[in-house]
């Protein structure tokens, strides 16, 4: 990690290496929740950082943190993967639900919670990942998702309600 300070700027300019080191787990965790597949999350995280390095000269700390910026790139990378996956499934005339590893995609979670998470949509999982797991504030999450902070709150509320219902249903079952 390289930290440099210029006399002209009072803020510490962040290097790409430092940003990658600091936010690797966040990017990986977000992609894992989104895809529910560790291998895919690994690949997408690698692709995310490759893309991020190419775009690093466009990063402007005044417009948002490196974490938010990297998560935005991760989302874009994940969406590309989802589109490609959807095309692949259409070609193979497979079912609408992609064949993903649905068990044990997050270490340390109870089977009930993990199963309930698997029952949520990627859209619901990503808002939980951003707001609960990575603990982004409403504005940062809104910036990553490209929606308003109010919409983020609404989406999170619904996602948590569904997650709770699914866990409860699983307990009852």
Binding of residue 118 to other proteins (CB under 8 A) = no
Tell me the C-alpha distance between 30 and 66, whole Å: 15
Site for other proteins (CB under 8 A): which residue of 4, 12, 123, 148?
123
Residue from 130, 124, 114, 108 nearest 170 by CA? 114
Helices (H), ranges, the chain = 16-35, 38-55, 66-92, 111-118, 122-128, 138-145, 149-172
Tell me the C-alpha distance between 58 and 113, whole Å: 39
Residues 128-157 that bind other proteins (CB under 8 A): 128, 132-135, 146-147
Closest to other proteins by CB, 111 or 139: 111
Site for other proteins (CB under 8 A): which residue of 5, 139, 168, 169?
168
Stretch that binds other proteins, among 4-12, 18-26, 136-144 (CB under 8 A): 18-26
Binding of residue 20 to other proteins (CB under 8 A) = yes
Tell me the C-alpha distance between 124 and 137, whole Å: 16
- 96 phi and psi, to 5 degrees? -65, -35
Site for other proteins (CB under 8 A): which residue of 22, 65, 82, 153?
82
Binding of residue 106 to other proteins (CB under 8 A) = yes
Tell me the C-alpha distance between 166 and 170, whole Å: 6
What residues contact residue 161 under an 8 Å CB cut-off, 6+ apart?
A: none
Site for other proteins (CB under 8 A): which residue of 45, 66, 74, 152?
45
Binding of residue 173 to other proteins (CB under 8 A) = no
Other beta carbons within 10 Å of 46: 13
Residues that bind other proteins (CB under 8 A): 15-17, 20-21, 24-25, 27-29, 32-34, 38, 41-42, 45-46, 49-50, 53-54, 56-60, 62-63, 79, 82-83, 85-86, 96, 98, 106-110, 112-113, 121-124, 126, 128, 132-135, 146-147, 160, 163-164, 167-168, 171
């Amino acid at each position: 990690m390289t930290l440099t300070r210029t006399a002209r700027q009072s803020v510490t300019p962040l290097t790409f290496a430092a940003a990658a080191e600091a936010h690797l787990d966040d990017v990986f965790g977000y992609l894992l929740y989104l895809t529910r597949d560790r291998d895919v999350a690994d690949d997408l995280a690698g692709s995310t950082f490759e893309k991020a390095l190419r775009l690093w000269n466009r990063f402007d700390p005044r417009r948002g943190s490196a974490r938010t910026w990297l998560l935005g790139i991760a989302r874009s990378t994940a969406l590309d993967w989802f589109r490609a996956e959807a095309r692949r499934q259409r070609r193979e005339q497979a079912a609408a639900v992609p064949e993903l590893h649905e068990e044990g995609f997050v270490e340390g979670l109870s089977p009930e919670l993990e199963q309930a998470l698997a029952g949520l949509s990627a859209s619901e999982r990503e808002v939980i990942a951003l707001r609960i797991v990575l603990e982004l504030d409403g504005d940062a999450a809104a910036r990553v998702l490209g929606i308003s902070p109010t919409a983020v709150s609404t989406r999170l509320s619904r996602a948590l309600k569904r997650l709770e219902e699914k866990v409860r249903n699983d307990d009852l079952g």
